Chain A
Amino acid sequence: MNEKKITTFVLVGIIAALIIAVFISPFASSFPDGLEKVAEGFGFLEKAQNAVSDKIFLIPDYTFGAVNDPLWQGALAGLFGVLIVLAIFGFIFLIYKATTKNKNKIE
Protein backbone atom coordinates (compact mmCIF):
# COMPACT_ATOMS: atom_id res chain seq x y z
CA MET A 1 0.00 0.00 0.00
CA ASN A 2 1.21 3.45 -0.86
CA GLU A 3 0.55 5.29 2.31
CA LYS A 4 2.17 8.60 3.04
CA LYS A 5 4.81 8.66 5.73
CA ILE A 6 3.61 9.67 9.13
CA THR A 7 6.93 10.61 10.72
CA THR A 8 6.18 14.34 10.71
CA PHE A 9 2.65 13.82 12.00
CA VAL A 10 3.93 11.63 14.84
CA LEU A 11 6.67 14.12 15.78
CA VAL A 12 4.32 17.11 15.69
CA GLY A 13 1.77 15.16 17.76
CA ILE A 14 4.30 14.19 20.41
CA ILE A 15 5.67 17.74 20.65
CA ALA A 16 2.12 19.12 20.93
CA ALA A 17 1.28 16.60 23.68
CA LEU A 18 4.43 17.54 25.61
CA ILE A 19 3.78 21.28 25.29
CA ILE A 20 0.18 20.87 26.44
CA ALA A 21 1.05 18.56 29.36
CA VAL A 22 4.12 20.46 30.56
CA PHE A 23 3.46 24.13 29.85
CA ILE A 24 -0.32 24.48 29.76
CA SER A 25 -1.58 21.93 32.29
CA PRO A 26 -0.19 23.75 35.37
CA PHE A 27 -2.56 26.59 34.50
CA ALA A 28 -5.67 24.46 34.01
CA SER A 29 -8.86 25.24 35.94
CA SER A 30 -8.85 23.77 39.44
CA PHE A 31 -12.62 23.81 39.81
CA PRO A 32 -14.21 20.41 40.56
CA ASP A 33 -15.22 18.49 37.45
CA GLY A 34 -18.81 17.65 36.53
CA LEU A 35 -19.02 14.47 38.58
CA GLU A 36 -17.25 15.98 41.61
CA LYS A 37 -19.55 18.99 41.49
CA VAL A 38 -22.65 16.78 41.43
CA ALA A 39 -21.25 14.61 44.25
CA GLU A 40 -20.43 17.73 46.26
CA GLY A 41 -23.84 19.27 45.67
CA PHE A 42 -25.69 16.16 46.81
CA GLY A 43 -23.27 15.50 49.65
CA PHE A 44 -21.92 12.14 48.59
CA LEU A 45 -18.41 13.27 47.69
CA GLU A 46 -17.04 11.87 50.96
CA LYS A 47 -18.00 8.39 49.77
CA ALA A 48 -15.00 8.61 47.46
CA GLN A 49 -12.33 6.49 49.04
CA ASN A 50 -9.26 4.84 47.64
CA ALA A 51 -9.51 1.06 47.55
CA VAL A 52 -5.74 0.84 47.95
CA SER A 53 -3.10 2.72 49.91
CA ASP A 54 -2.34 6.22 48.62
CA LYS A 55 1.33 5.32 48.64
CA ILE A 56 1.18 3.10 45.58
CA PHE A 57 0.60 6.00 43.22
CA LEU A 58 3.77 7.37 41.67
CA ILE A 59 2.28 10.80 40.96
CA PRO A 60 -0.98 11.15 42.94
CA ASP A 61 -3.37 13.84 41.68
CA TYR A 62 -0.97 15.06 38.99
CA THR A 63 1.36 16.40 41.67
CA PHE A 64 4.98 15.37 41.26
CA GLY A 65 6.03 15.28 44.91
CA ALA A 66 9.80 15.43 44.42
CA VAL A 67 9.69 19.18 43.79
CA ASN A 68 8.01 21.86 45.88
CA ASP A 69 6.82 24.45 43.41
CA PRO A 70 3.19 23.72 42.39
CA LEU A 71 3.84 24.78 38.80
CA TRP A 72 6.76 22.38 38.51
CA GLN A 73 4.77 19.62 40.24
CA GLY A 74 2.11 19.88 37.55
CA ALA A 75 4.56 20.31 34.70
CA LEU A 76 6.63 17.26 35.66
CA ALA A 77 3.48 15.20 36.24
CA GLY A 78 2.43 16.07 32.70
CA LEU A 79 5.86 15.27 31.30
CA PHE A 80 6.02 11.85 32.94
CA GLY A 81 2.40 11.06 32.06
CA VAL A 82 2.97 11.67 28.37
CA LEU A 83 6.23 9.69 28.46
CA ILE A 84 4.54 6.75 30.23
CA VAL A 85 1.71 6.66 27.66
CA LEU A 86 4.23 6.80 24.82
CA ALA A 87 6.33 4.09 26.48
CA ILE A 88 3.31 1.76 26.58
CA PHE A 89 2.78 2.14 22.84
CA GLY A 90 6.52 1.83 22.30
CA PHE A 91 6.35 -1.46 24.15
CA ILE A 92 3.40 -2.61 22.00
CA PHE A 93 5.48 -1.65 18.95
CA LEU A 94 8.40 -3.77 20.15
CA ILE A 95 6.12 -6.77 20.70
CA TYR A 96 4.67 -6.24 17.24
CA LYS A 97 8.12 -6.08 15.69
CA ALA A 98 9.29 -9.17 17.53
CA THR A 99 6.25 -11.22 16.54
CA THR A 100 6.11 -10.19 12.88
CA LYS A 101 9.84 -10.29 12.18
CA ASN A 102 9.75 -13.66 10.51
CA LYS A 103 6.35 -13.41 8.85
CA ASN A 104 6.55 -10.40 6.61
CA LYS A 105 8.48 -7.20 6.31
CA ILE A 106 7.18 -4.17 8.09
CA GLU A 107 5.77 -1.82 5.47
Chain B
Amino acid sequence: MHIPDGFVDLKTVITTSVVSAGGLGVSIYKVKKIFKARTIAIMGVLAALIFALQMINFSIPGGTSGHLLGGALSSIIAGPFGGSIILSVVLIVQALIFNDGGITALGANIFNMAIIGVFSSYLIYFLIRKISKSKIIFYMAIAVSSWFSVVFASTFAALELGISGTYAMGITLKAMILVHMVIGIGEAIITTLIIAFIDRIRPDLILTEERGI
Protein backbone atom coordinates (compact mmCIF):
# COMPACT_ATOMS: atom_id res chain seq x y z
CA MET B 1 0.00 0.00 0.00
CA HIS B 2 2.85 2.35 -0.83
CA ILE B 3 1.17 5.63 -1.71
CA PRO B 4 2.64 7.20 -4.87
CA ASP B 5 3.15 10.93 -5.44
CA GLY B 6 -0.03 12.65 -6.56
CA PHE B 7 -2.38 10.75 -4.25
CA VAL B 8 -1.87 13.02 -1.24
CA ASP B 9 -2.23 16.80 -1.26
CA LEU B 10 0.09 19.41 0.22
CA LYS B 11 -1.54 19.64 3.67
CA THR B 12 -1.49 15.86 4.03
CA VAL B 13 2.12 15.72 2.83
CA ILE B 14 3.18 18.33 5.39
CA THR B 15 1.18 16.89 8.29
CA THR B 16 2.28 13.31 7.76
CA SER B 17 5.90 14.36 7.15
CA VAL B 18 6.03 16.35 10.40
CA VAL B 19 4.38 13.58 12.42
CA SER B 20 6.59 10.89 10.88
CA ALA B 21 9.79 12.89 11.39
CA GLY B 22 8.79 13.41 15.03
CA GLY B 23 7.91 9.75 15.48
CA LEU B 24 11.18 8.65 13.92
CA GLY B 25 13.05 11.10 16.16
CA VAL B 26 11.43 9.64 19.27
CA SER B 27 12.22 6.11 18.07
CA ILE B 28 15.88 6.96 17.48
CA TYR B 29 16.07 8.60 20.92
CA LYS B 30 14.52 5.53 22.59
CA VAL B 31 16.60 2.99 20.69
CA LYS B 32 19.84 4.88 21.32
CA LYS B 33 19.41 4.21 25.04
CA ILE B 34 19.53 0.46 24.53
CA PHE B 35 21.90 0.61 21.58
CA LYS B 36 24.47 -2.11 21.45
CA ALA B 37 26.32 -3.76 18.61
CA ARG B 38 23.83 -6.62 18.68
CA THR B 39 20.80 -4.32 18.53
CA ILE B 40 22.10 -2.81 15.32
CA ALA B 41 22.92 -6.24 13.87
CA ILE B 42 19.44 -7.60 14.64
CA MET B 43 17.77 -4.50 13.24
CA GLY B 44 19.89 -4.70 10.08
CA VAL B 45 19.01 -8.34 9.47
CA LEU B 46 15.31 -7.69 10.06
CA ALA B 47 15.38 -4.72 7.69
CA ALA B 48 17.08 -6.79 4.97
CA LEU B 49 14.56 -9.62 5.48
CA ILE B 50 11.57 -7.29 5.42
CA PHE B 51 12.87 -5.53 2.32
CA ALA B 52 13.26 -8.91 0.58
CA LEU B 53 9.87 -10.16 1.75
CA GLN B 54 8.17 -6.95 0.61
CA MET B 55 9.30 -7.85 -2.92
CA ILE B 56 7.32 -11.09 -2.77
CA ASN B 57 3.84 -10.21 -3.92
CA PHE B 58 1.35 -13.03 -3.46
CA SER B 59 -1.86 -13.21 -5.46
CA ILE B 60 -5.20 -12.87 -3.75
CA PRO B 61 -8.59 -13.49 -5.41
CA GLY B 62 -9.74 -10.77 -7.78
CA GLY B 63 -6.53 -10.10 -9.69
CA THR B 64 -4.93 -8.31 -6.78
CA SER B 65 -1.71 -8.95 -4.91
CA GLY B 66 -0.32 -8.20 -1.52
CA HIS B 67 2.99 -8.53 0.20
CA LEU B 68 4.26 -8.64 3.74
CA LEU B 69 4.38 -5.29 5.49
CA GLY B 70 6.53 -6.42 8.39
CA GLY B 71 5.14 -4.16 11.10
CA ALA B 72 4.41 -7.02 13.50
CA LEU B 73 7.50 -9.00 12.49
CA SER B 74 9.78 -6.08 13.32
CA SER B 75 8.02 -4.91 16.48
CA ILE B 76 7.71 -8.37 18.08
CA ILE B 77 11.47 -8.82 17.79
CA ALA B 78 12.96 -5.34 17.89
CA GLY B 79 10.24 -3.55 19.84
CA PRO B 80 8.05 -0.76 18.49
CA PHE B 81 10.78 1.88 18.41
CA GLY B 82 13.30 -0.42 16.76
CA GLY B 83 10.55 -1.68 14.47
CA SER B 84 9.61 1.79 13.31
CA ILE B 85 13.25 2.55 12.47
CA ILE B 86 13.55 -0.73 10.54
CA LEU B 87 10.40 -0.06 8.54
CA SER B 88 11.37 3.58 7.92
CA VAL B 89 14.75 2.58 6.49
CA VAL B 90 13.05 0.05 4.21
CA LEU B 91 10.49 2.62 3.06
CA ILE B 92 13.15 5.29 2.45
CA VAL B 93 15.26 2.89 0.35
CA GLN B 94 12.16 1.81 -1.61
CA ALA B 95 11.14 5.41 -2.31
CA LEU B 96 14.57 6.82 -3.17
CA ILE B 97 16.12 3.91 -5.08
CA PHE B 98 13.22 1.86 -6.42
CA ASN B 99 10.52 4.49 -7.00
CA ASP B 100 8.19 2.39 -4.84
CA GLY B 101 6.07 4.87 -2.92
CA GLY B 102 6.30 8.56 -3.76
CA ILE B 103 8.97 10.83 -2.37
CA THR B 104 6.39 13.42 -1.29
CA ALA B 105 4.26 10.56 0.08
CA LEU B 106 7.16 9.18 2.11
CA GLY B 107 5.90 10.86 5.28
CA ALA B 108 2.46 9.34 4.77
CA ASN B 109 3.88 5.90 4.03
CA ILE B 110 6.16 6.02 7.08
CA PHE B 111 3.21 7.14 9.20
CA ASN B 112 0.91 4.37 7.95
CA MET B 113 3.33 1.47 7.97
CA ALA B 114 6.28 2.34 10.21
CA ILE B 115 4.23 4.06 12.92
CA ILE B 116 0.61 2.85 12.78
CA GLY B 117 1.50 -0.63 11.48
CA VAL B 118 4.32 -1.14 13.95
CA PHE B 119 2.78 0.34 17.10
CA SER B 120 -0.70 -1.13 16.59
CA SER B 121 0.74 -4.62 16.15
CA TYR B 122 2.92 -4.20 19.22
CA LEU B 123 -0.01 -3.13 21.43
CA ILE B 124 -2.35 -5.84 20.19
CA TYR B 125 0.38 -8.48 20.50
CA PHE B 126 0.94 -7.66 24.17
CA LEU B 127 -2.75 -7.32 24.97
CA ILE B 128 -3.37 -10.85 23.68
CA ARG B 129 -0.24 -12.28 25.33
CA LYS B 130 -1.55 -11.07 28.67
CA ILE B 131 -4.26 -13.74 28.44
CA SER B 132 -1.87 -16.60 29.05
CA LYS B 133 1.66 -17.80 28.46
CA SER B 134 0.61 -20.75 26.31
CA LYS B 135 2.00 -21.29 22.83
CA ILE B 136 -1.46 -21.13 21.28
CA ILE B 137 -2.01 -17.66 22.69
CA PHE B 138 1.49 -16.69 21.55
CA TYR B 139 0.74 -17.73 17.94
CA MET B 140 -2.68 -16.12 18.13
CA ALA B 141 -1.14 -12.88 19.36
CA ILE B 142 1.25 -12.85 16.39
CA ALA B 143 -1.43 -13.65 13.81
CA VAL B 144 -4.08 -11.26 15.12
CA SER B 145 -1.65 -8.36 15.64
CA SER B 146 -0.20 -8.86 12.14
CA TRP B 147 -3.65 -8.85 10.59
CA PHE B 148 -4.72 -5.69 12.41
CA SER B 149 -1.47 -3.89 11.57
CA VAL B 150 -2.22 -4.23 7.85
CA VAL B 151 -5.88 -3.28 8.22
CA PHE B 152 -5.05 -0.25 10.39
CA ALA B 153 -2.27 0.90 8.05
CA SER B 154 -4.63 0.65 5.09
CA THR B 155 -7.30 2.55 7.03
CA PHE B 156 -4.94 5.46 7.53
CA ALA B 157 -3.81 5.31 3.89
CA ALA B 158 -7.46 5.57 2.86
CA LEU B 159 -8.08 8.42 5.31
CA GLU B 160 -5.15 10.35 3.79
CA LEU B 161 -6.49 9.81 0.27
CA GLY B 162 -9.93 10.95 1.43
CA ILE B 163 -8.61 14.03 3.21
CA SER B 164 -6.54 14.85 0.13
CA GLY B 165 -9.71 14.72 -1.97
CA THR B 166 -8.22 12.08 -4.24
CA TYR B 167 -11.44 10.09 -4.07
CA ALA B 168 -14.58 9.97 -1.92
CA MET B 169 -13.59 9.16 1.66
CA GLY B 170 -16.28 6.59 2.52
CA ILE B 171 -15.90 4.53 -0.63
CA THR B 172 -12.09 4.57 -0.48
CA LEU B 173 -12.11 3.54 3.18
CA LYS B 174 -14.47 0.64 2.56
CA ALA B 175 -12.58 -0.63 -0.50
CA MET B 176 -9.14 -0.27 1.08
CA ILE B 177 -10.14 -1.98 4.33
CA LEU B 178 -11.90 -4.81 2.51
CA VAL B 179 -8.99 -5.69 0.25
CA HIS B 180 -6.49 -5.39 3.10
CA MET B 181 -8.59 -7.66 5.30
CA VAL B 182 -7.70 -10.33 2.76
CA ILE B 183 -4.05 -9.26 2.33
CA GLY B 184 -3.78 -9.22 6.13
CA ILE B 185 -4.37 -12.98 6.19
CA GLY B 186 -1.15 -13.38 4.20
CA GLU B 187 0.61 -11.07 6.64
CA ALA B 188 -0.67 -13.14 9.57
CA ILE B 189 0.45 -16.45 8.05
CA ILE B 190 3.93 -15.27 7.02
CA THR B 191 4.61 -13.41 10.28
CA THR B 192 3.43 -16.29 12.46
CA LEU B 193 5.58 -18.80 10.53
CA ILE B 194 8.70 -16.65 10.75
CA ILE B 195 8.31 -15.77 14.43
CA ALA B 196 7.42 -19.34 15.35
CA PHE B 197 10.62 -20.42 13.56
CA ILE B 198 12.73 -17.83 15.37
CA ASP B 199 11.05 -18.88 18.63
CA ARG B 200 12.26 -22.44 17.98
CA ILE B 201 15.87 -21.57 17.25
CA ARG B 202 16.38 -18.42 19.34
CA PRO B 203 13.52 -17.85 21.81
CA ASP B 204 15.65 -15.25 23.58
CA LEU B 205 15.28 -12.93 20.60
CA ILE B 206 11.50 -12.69 20.96
CA LEU B 207 10.35 -9.71 22.93
CA THR B 208 8.64 -10.61 26.19
CA GLU B 209 6.94 -8.47 28.76
CA GLU B 210 9.83 -8.97 31.19
CA ARG B 211 12.39 -7.94 28.61
CA GLY B 212 10.20 -5.03 27.56
CA ILE B 213 11.26 -2.72 24.80
List the interface of chain A (C-beta within 8 A of B).
3-4, 6, 9-10, 13-14, 16-18, 20-21, 24-25, 28-35, 37-39, 41-42, 44, 47-52, 54, 57-62, 74, 77-78, 80-82, 84-86, 88-90, 92-93, 96-97, 106-107
Known: A17-B52, A42-B175. 19 other contacts (CB 8 A): A6-B38, A6-B42, A10-B42, A17-B51, A18-B52, A33-B65, A34-B176, A47-B6, A47-B166, A50-B5, A57-B98, A81-B98, A84-B93, A85-B48, A85-B51, A88-B47, A96-B35, A97-B37, A107-B37
Stretch of B14-22, B54-62, B124-132, B135-143 with 4 or more beta carbons under 8 angstroms from chain A: B54-62
- By secondary structure, the A interface counts as helix
Q: Given A32-B65, A33-B67, A90-B44, A20 and B98 touching (CB < 8 A)?
A: no
Bound-complex Cα distance A40 to B4 (A): 13
Across-interface contacts of A93 in B (CB, < 8 A): 37, 40-41, 44
Chain A CB within 10 A, most for which of B43, B56, B58, B89: B56
Q: Does B76 contact A (CB under 8 A)?
A: no
Q: B1-29 vs A: 1/0 string, CB under 8 Å? A: 11111110000000000000000000000
Residue of B nearest to A100 (CB): B35
The answer for the CA separation of A6 and B90 in the assembled complex, in Å, is 22
Q: Which B residues lie within 8 Å of A48 (CB)?
A: 4-7, 102
Cα distance, A37 to B119, chains bound together (Å): 26
B117 touches A (CB below 8 Å): no
A89 and chain B: residue at smallest CB distance: B44
Using Cβ atoms and an 8 Å threshold, which residues of chain B touch A54? 99
* Contact flags B146-158 to A (C-beta < 8 A → 1, else 0): 0000000010010
Which of B3, B64, B97 is A59 in contact with, Cβ under 8 Å?
B97
How far, in Å, is A10 (CB) from chain B's closest CB? Answer: 5
Contact of A34 among B37, B56, B180, B202 (CB under 8 A): B180
Q: Which residue of A lies closest to B176 (CB)?
A: A38
Bound CA–CA A32/B62 (angstroms): 10
Q: Does B200 interact with chain A (Cβ within 8 Å)? A: no
B179 interfacial by beta-carbon distance below 8 Å: yes
Chain A residues with CB under 8 Å of B157's CB are: 35
Q: B71 → chain A, closest Cβ, in Å? A: 15
Determine the chain A residues whose CB is within 8 A of the CB of B90 once the complex forms.
85
- Smallest CB separation, A51 vs chain B (Å): 4
> Which residues on the A side are within 8 Å of B193 (C-beta)?
none
Query: What are 20 A-B contacts defined by CB distance under 8 Å?
Result: A6-B42, A6-B202, A9-B45, A20-B52, A32-B63, A33-B67, A35-B176, A38-B175, A48-B7, A49-B6, A51-B5, A57-B98, A62-B100, A81-B93, A85-B51, A88-B47, A89-B47, A93-B37, A93-B44, A107-B37
A35 contacts across to B, CB distance below 8 A: 1-3, 154, 157, 176
A37 touches B55 (CB 8 A): no
A21 to chain B, nearest CB (A): 4
Q: Which residues of A contact B199 (CB under 8 A)?
A: none
Q: Complex formed: what's the CA distance from A49 to B98 in Å?
A: 15
